[in-house]
Amino acid sequence: MPAAAQAAALRGIIRATPMLLTVLERLPELDLPDSWLVSGAIYNTVWNHLTGRPPLTGINDIDLFYFDASDLSYEAEDTAIKAADRIFAGLPLPVQLRNQARVHLWYPERFGEPYPAVTSSREAIDRFASLTHAVGARLDRAGEIELYAPFGLDDLFSFRIVPNRRINNRATHEKKAARARGVWPEIVVEAW
């Protein structure tokens, strides 16, 4: 499909998924800069929709990004996380909110690899372990779904998991790919 048709299809799938629409509608209540719904809640929903599986199949949590470099303390992020817990209480899955301005502070210790600081949530999405997973969504001021998919949506709609070699995310790519293949055997995984 052409890129515009893929984007329209993705917006339609999101709008037809009550949980995702609820997340997008509540996200502005956090009043956090550069905030996005990202990752598995989006791409897994697409795969479920296309294969006729129940909407929450394979989705462990709801990942939300924001970017706020004005306070890089854990305490500031924790305050935002607690607000998200209140705003998203009652959803069928837990919400994981992370300030992308802080990732470079903890990533090397957790993953054993350097992670240069980013300047936006979009730049963090650009670094997802798989090109396929690099997609974000949010509502614009008019209530329309804004998408960010720096590598396009072909792989997502073609059930292909393609590695993103911008940083060394090999282990994450392989782990997520193996997990996805266990849920959606239709997926083709491109080796690192």
pLDDT at position 1 is 84
H-state helical runs in the chain: 3-15, 18-26, 40-51, 74-87, 103-111, 121-126, 154-157, 170-183
Alpha carbons 60 and 68: distance in angstroms, whole number:
25
Q: Looking at 39-43, 68-72, 165-169, which range is the least confident one?
A: 165-169
Domain ranges of the chain: 3-189
pLDDT at position 167 is 83
Alpha carbons 134 and 30: distance in angstroms, whole number:
23
**What is the pLDDT averaged over residues 26-41?**
97
Q: Read off the pLDDT of residues 122-179 as tens digits, 9 standing for 90 and up.
A: 999 999 999 999 999 999 999 999 999 999 999 999 999 999 998 888 888 899 999 9
